[in-house]
């Protein structure tokens, strides 16, 4: 591994070759390569659906122009003695491809000319897949929106950069490339992480490599109206619906004893700690319901989630969580342990403890904004968390204008959770359009 400090920009410094520039993995990113398996990669997908079919040749031109503006995405991952790191990738590519039925396929580090992103097109849709070691959904959305704006510009539409759409002729702000966790890990105490086994979904594992997608498309206004009736935000309400669906799934099965249902939900730390980073800057919170305490009505579930969010999602608690996670990087003994031992410990801990700490994952990117002159060309956005590490389902939510999409990704045959989830929405008066890559929709 190089023995000098990483540069603050991804561009060639004076007197130094481009190969000399490298980037440490951020605090979250250090975990994702460790979990890599032949049949699993930490890959997520972001998609934008345009009003007109995509021209693949122009999309390739747009990608070639856009990617150099994102130096921490135009990289390959390398392995050192103590840590992995990212180095600039000057190989040809990545090349746009026609979309496939099962998205978020495993992303092996030596394939695809070592690029850790893929760009697909199908009809009116542009999709970006990225390995999580590069960044979170915010960074990925910034790349996707900038790519889309450049593509629309090649079609002759003038798009004024703002928000997630960056200017290609500007060098990256140093904050875009930083590991923001280390800047804000300042708490004087390290709170313990949630512990305890949770309900695990029982299902028939799909053959390698099958990812079942179920999308629910609905009106933001309708969902907001229902959420307000429960005195909740959209995020709180949809979290409650997923907890309700998991409870319904558990009670419909035979169990000697029930277990808590718990959701792993990423929180975008940029909302609380100012940073322009395009890398990972999220932490997890775990809203839960324990059926061993008694039977919960749906209204009680919403109230539990509402109170949980108000109590835990604030600057002080999140700062403590960051500090707990950052302790490993500050520990000298851990830093000098060889990488293969770090991998063994992290993989064992994740498999035996962390992965059993939640019943499902849910992420909400919230309401997306694009430049005003870009709006007429966009229909909607989608987000997929990708294949779960173990046999279960993950849920991702995103909205644009009045279109809200709930995207489920599952590696099991049964779709009971998805069915309970959307039935609850319909019971509350929300109109839902279901789309799926399954031949029979929701089984």
Predicted model pTM: 0.92
Q: Where are the alpha helices (DSSP H) in 50-157?
A: 56-66, 137-154
Return d(Cα 75, Cα 204) in angstroms, integer.
37
| Residue where one domain finishes, among candidates 184, 204, 232 | 184
C-beta of residue 322 within 8 angstroms of C-beta of residue 184? yes
* 82 & 165 share domain: yes
Residues 236 and 179 in one domain: no
CA distance 11 to 24: 16
Residues 110 and 70 in one domain: yes
What is residue 333's predicted lDDT score, i.e. its pLDDT? 78
Same domain? For 180 and 235 the reply is no
Answer yes or no: do 33 and 109 share one domain. yes
Helix (H, G, I), strand (E, B) or coil at 94: coil
Same-domain status, 165 and 246: no
Q: Report the alpha-carbon distance of residue 347 to residue 353 in Å, rounded.
A: 10
Burial class (CB in 10 A: 0-12, 13-18, 19+), 297: exposed
Query: Containing H/E element for 400?
Result: strand 393-400
Q: How far is the C-alpha of 178 from the C-alpha of 275, rounded, in Å?
A: 9
- Does residue 281 contact residue 181 with C-beta atoms inside 8 Å? yes
CA angle at residue 111 from 105 to 113, to 5 degrees? 125
pLDDT at 53 over 90: yes
Q: Per the domain annotation, does 231 fall within a domain?
A: yes
Q: What is the CATH number of the domain that holds 30?
A: 3.30.559.10
More confident residue, 385 or 18: 385
Per residue in 5-36, pLDDT tens? 333 433 343 334 455 689 999 999 999 999 98
Q: Are residues 219 and 287 located together in one domain of the fold?
A: yes
Residue 95 lies in a domain: yes
Q: How many domains, the chain?
A: 2
Q: Name which residue leads in pLDDT, 437 or 67.
A: 67
Tell me: pLDDT of 3 over 90.
Answer: no
Q: What is the pLDDT of residue 433?
A: 97
Name the band, by pLDDT with cuts 50, 70 and 90, for residue 355. confident
279-325 pLDDT per residue, tens: 999 999 999 999 999 999 999 999 999 999 999 999 999 999 999 88
Residues 274 and 413 occupy one common structural domain: yes
Same domain, 285 and 143: no
Is 235 in the same domain as 180? no
278 & 383 share domain: yes
Average of per-residue pLDDT values in the chain? 91
What pLDDT score was predicted for residue 9? 38
Reading the block at residue 147, the tokens are 């790519």
The domain of 226 spans 212-436
Could you tell me where the DSSP H helices lie in 217-314? 220-229, 234-251, 298-312
Residue 148 lies in a domain: yes
Residue 391 domain-assigned? yes
For residue 348, the model assigns a pLDDT of 87
Residues 386 and 310 in one domain: yes
Q: Above 70 in pLDDT, residue 161?
A: yes
Q: What is the pLDDT of residues 117-156, one digit of tens each?
A: 999 999 999 999 999 999 999 999 999 999 999 999 999 9
Tell me the CATH number at 406.
Answer: 3.30.559.30
220 part of a folded domain: yes
């Amino acid at each position: 591994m190089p023995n000098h400090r990483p540069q603050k920009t991804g561009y060639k410094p004076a007197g130094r070759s481009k190969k000399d520039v490298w980037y440490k993995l951020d605090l979250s990113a250090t975990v994702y390569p460790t979990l890599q398996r032949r049949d699993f990669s930490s890959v997520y997908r972001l998609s934008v659906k345009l009003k007109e079919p995509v021209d693949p040749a122009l999309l390739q031109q747009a990608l070639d122009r856009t990617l150099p503006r994102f130096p921490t995405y135009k990289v390959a991952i390398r392995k050192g003695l103590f840590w992995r790191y990212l180095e600039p990738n000057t190989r040809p590519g990545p090349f746009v491809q026609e979309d496939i039925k099962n998205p978020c396929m495993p992303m092996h580090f030596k394939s695809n000319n070592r690029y850790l992103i893929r760009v697909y097109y199908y009809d009116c849709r542009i999709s970006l897949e990225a390995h999580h070691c590069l960044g979170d959904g915010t960074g990925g959305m910034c790349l996707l929106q900038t790519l889309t704006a450049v593509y629309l510009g090649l079609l002759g539409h003038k798009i004024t950069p703002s928000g997630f759409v960056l200017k290609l002729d500007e060098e990256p702000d140093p904050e875009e490339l930083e590991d923001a966790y280390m800047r804000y890990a300042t708490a004087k105490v390290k709170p313990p992480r949630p512990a305890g086994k949770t309900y695990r979904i029982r299902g028939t594992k799909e053959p390698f490599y099958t990812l079942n997608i179920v999308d629910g498309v609905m009106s933001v206004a309708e969902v907001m109206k229902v959420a307000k009736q429960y005195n909740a935000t959209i995020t709180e309400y949809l979290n409650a619906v997923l907890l309700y669906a998991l409870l319904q799934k558990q009670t419909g099965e035979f169990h000697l004893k029930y277990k808590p249902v718990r959701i792993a939900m990423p929180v975008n730390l940029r909302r609380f700690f100012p940073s322009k980073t395009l890398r990972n800057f999220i932490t997890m919170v775990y809203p839960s319901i324990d059926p061993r305490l008694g039977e919960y009505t749906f209204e009680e579930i919403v109230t539990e989630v509402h109170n949980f969010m108000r109590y835990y999602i604030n600057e002080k608690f999140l700062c403590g969580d960051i500090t707990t996670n950052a302790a490993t990087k500050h520990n000298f003994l851990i830093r000098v342990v060889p990488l293969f031992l770090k991998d063994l410990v992290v993989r064992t801990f994740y498999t035996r403890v962390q992965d059993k700490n939640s019943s499902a994952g849910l992420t909400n990117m919230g309401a997306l904004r694009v430049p005003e002159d870009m709006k007429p060309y966009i229909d909607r956005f989608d987000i997929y968390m990708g294949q779960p590490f173990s046999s279960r389902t993950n849920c991702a939510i995103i909205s644009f204008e009045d279109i809200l999409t709930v995207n489920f990704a599952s590696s099991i045959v049964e779709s009971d959770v998805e069915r309970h989830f959307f039935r609850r929405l319909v019971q509350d008066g929300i109109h839902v359009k279901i789309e799926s890559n399954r031949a029979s929709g929701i089984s």
